[in-house]
Structure 1
C-alpha cells in the first residue's frame, strides 16, 4: 500500500505474511502469528528461542552464547576473569574461588551506567560540541569581514602611496617642464641675437659693395666698416641638461617602507572551551534562530498598485512598503490596508531607476537621466551624489548606513559598483583578480543588495548571472541559474534581496519564479506561487518576501520560511 494515499496497514506475520502478528521471537527478532510459531522453532532447532507476546517483545533478556561451550548460554559473570560464563564453566572448576555474579545484576548495573552516560552525552557533551561547532562557524563567518578589512587596509595604504607617488611625479615633471622652458627661452634669445648680427653683416656687405662702385674719394676716406666688431664672435650658450637619478632599492627595503604583514599564528588552547549544560526550559533559544524553508510557500497578501508597469518594491517596515513603476511617482503603501499612504515625485520629473530604504528609514532613489542619487527626508528631496560621465542604476543601503550604487559609463562600455559614505567614494568594485570586468557593460537592468555576511550581491540581467563579491570586492561566485527551471527558459535575474538566514533571493522573470540560493551560491529551491513576471524583491524583518510583478502590477507578500 502507498503510505501517502492510504491508512496505515496492520503488522503481518513475517512467515505467512497474511495473518495479523500475535507473537514475537526475541532471539531471532521475528514477528509471528500463533500458527507459525511451531514452524519457526522447527526451522531453527539449534537456537534457544524466546517466544513472547508481541506486546512484550524485547522484554526477554538474550544471554550471550558461551565461548567455551557453544550450546550453552551464559547466565553468570566471572568478575575476576571479566567474562560471561555458563553452568558448564562453573562445573569445570576453572572459576573456583572467583566472584561469580548473576548476569541479570551485571546487565542492570551496566544498563544504569549506559543510561547515565547517555544523560551526560545529551545534557553536557552534545550541547558542548554544538556550542563549539557554532563558535567555530561564527569565527569562520567573521573571516571574510576580518580578512576583507585587512585587504582593504592594505589596498587603501597602497592607494595612499600611489597618490603620494603621483603627486611626486607631477612635481618632478612640472620641474622638468619649467627647466625645458627656461632652456628653450635662453636658446631663443641667443638665436635672436645671432640673427640680428647676420642682418647687420649683410647690411655692411651691401654698403661696402655699393661704395666700391663710386669714384668719390671723400666717401672712401669717410667710410669706416664695423668688421672689427663682427670679428668678435658671440659667446656660445651651453647648458647642462638635468638628469633623473633613480633611487636604487631592494624589495626588502620597500617592504619596510610600505609596511609589514605579520604572519598567521594558529595555536590550540586546551582550556579554551568549558563543558556546557543543556537548558531544558522551552524558553532557552538562540538569539539568531535557524529557520527552515517551507515545503509550500504561501501567499499572504496581494496589493494592486495601479501602475501601468510595476518595477520595484522596498520595505520601510513590516507594515509599509515603497513602490515605483513607469512614472515619476513613488508610492508608500499600507500592507494591511492596501492603500497609498504617501506619494513622492522625483525632483527631475523622470522615472527613477531604482529605490531602496536606508538604515535610518529614508527613501533613496537613483535617476540615471540626470546622473544623481537622491534621498527623501521629511518629503524634501536631497541630492546626495551627482555624477559625471557615469549614470547610476541599482542602489541599496548597507548595514553600516552607507550606499552601494551600480554605475554604468556614458559610452555604455563599463559597469562598476561604488561604495559611498555620504557623497564620498570609499571603494570601487569593477574587475576580478585577472583584471576582467565583473559585470556586463551597457544600459541593462542590474540590482544590488548586501548580505548579512557583508557580501555584495548584484543581479546582472545581461550576463544572466548573480555576481557575488566579498566586502573587499573579491569575486566569491557567479550563480547562473538552476535547471530545470519551472518554464525551462533561460535564467533572467532582476530584483535581488537577502534574508536573516543569509539566503540570496533573485527574481527570474523568464520563468515566473524566485530562486533561493545560500550564501555560497548553492541552489535551494524555487518560489513560484503563481507569480506573473516577477521583477523587484524585498524582505521584511520577519522574513516575509514582497514581490513586484511587472505584468499584473501587483505586490505579493509571500511566507516561505517557518
Structure 2
C-alpha cells in the first residue's frame, strides 16, 4: 500500500489475488494438455516400441539371411571375412535394439511420473496456498521433447558379382572385395581398418556414482548393474541409474583383492590375508578355494569351461593357477627357458581369458601385458609403447571382448589400451573422462564399465559402433 500512496512506485503493481488466479489458469492449461495430448502420445509410443523391436529383428534376420546367401558364392578361404561381417551385424543389431529398448524403458518410466504430475497439479489447483501455486515449476517442455524417436538407421547389404573376376560385399562403411590377388590384404582391411573405424565411435552411456571411495573393483552383471568393492568390508551392487540394489557384508574383516563372476553368474572374491577364494550363494558365503601355505590369491578370472584362473603370490614370485573346484589343474610361472614369467612385487597382477583360450595378464610390477597360449607359452608381450603415452605404462585390470580384443587399463595415463588378439595395438580410449581407471568389466551388451579410483564413479562406455 505504501508503494501506491507514496512516491516509491517506480515498479509495476499487481494484486496478489490476480497473480494467484493467473498462475492457476496456467496450471489448468498445462494439465489439460498433458491429459489430452502428452499422456496418449506416450502410451501410443510405448505400444509402437514393441512393433519397432519386432520389425528391427525381422530386418536384421533378413540381413543375416542375405549375407549367408552371398557367402555360398565366395571361396572357403574368405570365411573369416564373412565371420567378421557376422560379428559387425550382431554388434549393430545389439546396439540398435539397445537404443530402442532404452527408449521404451524411458517411455514406460516417464508415464507414472507424468501421471503423478497431473495428480500434483490438480491438488495445487484445489489449493488456496499461495506458495504452492507460485512455486510450481512446469515440466511440460521436458515431456514434449522426450517424445522424439531415436534415429538409428538399419544398414543395408550391397553386393556385386563379376563372375570369375570379382566378388564384393559392403555393409555401410565396411567393404570386402575378392579378386584374383592375395586375400591377406583383404582380411587385414576388414579385421584391422574396420575395427579402427569402429573404435573411433566412442561415447559414454552413463556415469554412475557408487558411493565407494576409493573404488577398486568392478564386475558387470548383465547389462544394467555391477558389483563394486573398495576398502570397505562389504560388496555393493549398483544399477546403471545409480541406485544401490544390494549390500553384502563379508565374513572376513578385510576388503577383497579381486572380484569376478562364474559362468553361472555367481559372485566370487579373493581375500589374500586368509588365502581364500569365496563364492556368494543363496545359502550364504562359502569358501571355494583355499590356496597353499605362503601363496596368497589375488587376481581372478572365470573361464568359459567353468575353471577359475587365479594369480598367486608369495614373497619371491607370482604364479597362475587354474582351478577346477579345489583341484589345481595347471600351474604357470616359468617360460620355456626356465625363467620367471612375471615380475615379483607388491602389486596385484590381473588376469583374463580370451575367446581362443589364451591367458592375458597385466603384470603391473613389470609394467607389461603378457599373453600366453593355453599351454602357458608366451605368445607376445606388450609394453604400452605403441600407444605413445608420455607418462609410461601402468597396466591394471584387463578384460577381453566378443571380438577377442584385449583391453587393459593404464592407471598412469588415464586411458584404456585396446589390442587385437595377436597383440597389434589398435587404439587408446582417452577422451572419455576416465581419470585413474581402477576397475574394468564388459557387460552383456558389449559395453565397458570403467571404475574411477578417486571419484568412486563408473563410466559405462560404448566403444564399438
TM-score over 0.5 (shorter chain): yes
Q: Which runs of 5+ in 1 are unaligned?
A: 1-121, 139-276, 283-288
Q: How far apart are residue 354 of structure 1 and its match?
A: 0.2
Structure 1 length-normalised TM: 0.49
Quick one: which of 417, 424, 445 aligns to 1:515?
417
Deviations 1:356-381 (Å, cap 9, x if unpaired)? 01110100000001110111011611
Question: Is contact 1:482-1:523 (8 Å) kept?
Answer: no
Look up the match of 2:253: 349
Does residue 364 of structure 1 match 2:268?
yes
1:132 alignment partner, one of 50, 53, 77: 77
SS in 1 for 2:222: coil
SS of 1:511 mapped into structure 2: coil
Q: Secondary structure at the match of 1:541?
A: coil
Contact 2:288–2:325, Cα closer than 8 Å, also in 1 = yes
8 A contact 1:539–1:546 mirrored in 2: yes
Q: Is 1:332 aligned to 2:237, yes or no?
A: yes
The aligned runs of 1:293-442 (5 Å cut-off) are 293-335=198-240, 337-378=241-282, 380-387=284-291, 388-409=293-314, 412-442=315-345
Q: Deviations over 1:169-194 (max 9, x none)?
A: xxxxxxxxxxxxxxxxxxxxxxxxxx
Offset of 1:280 from its aligned partner? 11
Larger Rg: 1
Give the secondary-structure state (helix, strand or coil) at the position aligned to 1:351.
coil
Change (3 A) 1:415 1:530: same
- From 419, 435, 441, the equivalent of 1:532 is 435
Question: Secondary structure at the residue paired with 1:454?
Answer: coil
CA distance, structure 2, for counterparts of residue 444 and residue 280 of structure 1: 47
Q: Distance in 1 between matches of 2:421 and 2:264?
A: 26
What is aligned with 1:495? 397
Q: Deviations over 1:78-100 (max 9, x none)?
A: xxxxxxxxxxxxxxxxxxxxxxx
Going from structure 1 to structure 2, the CA distance change for 1:461 and 1:379 (only over 3 Å counts) comes to: farther
- Secondary structure of the structure 1 residue equivalent to 2:434: coil
Q: Secondary structure at the match of 2:366?
A: coil
Q: Any unmatched runs of 5+ in structure 2? A: 1-66, 84-166, 173-189
Per-residue CA deviation, residues 352-408 of structure 1 (Å, 9 max, x unaligned), is 000001110100000001110111011611101112110000001001111000000
Name the TM-score, length of structure 2 as normaliser. Answer: 0.59
Describe the shift of the 1:303–1:370 C-alpha distance in structure 2 as closer, same or farther (beyond 3 A).
same
Q: CA deviation at 1:442?
A: 2.6
Contact 1:440–1:460 (8 Å) recurs in 2: yes
SS in 2 for 1:338: coil
Measure how far apart 1:505 and its partner are.
0.2
Distance 1:380 1:392 in 2: 21
Instruction: Report the RMSD for the aligned CA atoms in angstroms.
Output: 2.8
Higher relative contact order (CA 8 A, sep 6+): 2
**Which has more helix, going by share of residues?**
2
Aligned to 1:22: none
Please give the residue correspondences for 1:204-353 in structure 2 after superposition, counting only pairs within 5 Å: 292=195, 293-335=198-240, 337-353=241-257
Q: State whether residues 322 and 331 of structure 2, in contact with CA within 8 Å, keep that contact through their aligned partners in structure 1.
A: yes
DSSP 3-state at the match of 1:442:
coil
Distance 1:516 1:136, change over 3 A: closer
In 2, Cα distance between equivalents of 1:280 and 1:523: 25
Aligned residues: 293
Q: Pick closer, same or farther for the CA change 1:125–1:343 going to 2, 3 Å.
A: closer
